[in-house]
Amino acid sequence: MTVVYYSSSSNYTHAFAQKLRAAGQHCVRLPLLTKDDTLLMEEPFVLITPTYGAGPRRGAVPKQVIKFLNVPQNRELLCGVIGAGNTNFGETYCQAAHIVAQKCQVPLLYRFELLGLPEDVRNVNEGLNRLWKQKLQRRA
């Protein structure tokens, strides 16, 4: 089971994913450039996405994330979404994760700010382990 994440050139989400890697999670980064080919998933995964955008209604979900979710097979395997953001953006805190959860009808699993605190890494790591276990049990 995999964590797929997008991180722009500021690399905050990438730093968070590195900490999840160190905790034993398998993490894969989406390509930075929109013109590059996106990934095709073969097994269930969780997505981490930051929020961007030129305003509340435009560009909150990074284009590369949209391209990735436009692939029906990826959408079918998506188990949930985690948001990265900053509460100082007020109402649009982690809006991209809300949009993805809504559009793909999957749970919003967690939200954290910027690089994430050690507690965030622990909560996400433990939450993912519980989730993977549930998926395995359901399969068996």
Ligand X SMILES: Cc1cc2nc3c(=O)[nH]c(=O)nc-3n(C[C@H](O)[C@H](O)[C@H](O)COP(=O)(O)O)c2cc1C
Which spans of this chain sit near another protein (rule: CB under 8 A)? 8-10, 12, 52-55, 57-61, 63, 66-67, 69-70, 72, 75, 80, 86-91, 93-95, 98-99, 101-103, 105-111, 113-115, 117-119, 123-124, 126-127, 130
CA–CA separation, 52 and 136 (whole Å): 34
Give the per-residue contact string, 43-62, with ligand X (x = CB under 6 A; - = no).
-------xxxx---------
CA–CA separation, 34 and 64 (whole Å): 5
CA–CA separation, 44 and 10 (whole Å): 27
From the list ligand X, another protein, none, partner contacted by residue 24 (C-beta under 5 to 8 A by kind):
none
Query: Beta 45-50 vs 27-29: how paired, if at all?
Result: unpaired
Q: Which of 71, 93, 108, 127 binds ligand X (CB under 6 A)?
A: 93
The one-letter amino acid at 59: G
Q: Which of 2, 3, 4, 7 binds ligand X (CB under 6 A)?
A: 7
Strand partners, 4: 28, 47
In the DSSP assignment, the letter for residue 87 is: G
Neighbours of 4 (CB within 10 A): 23
Give the per-residue contact string, 13-42, with ligand X (x = CB under 6 A; - = no).
xx----------------------------
- The residues binding ligand X (CB under 6 A) are 7-8, 10-14, 50-53, 84-86, 89, 92-95, 114
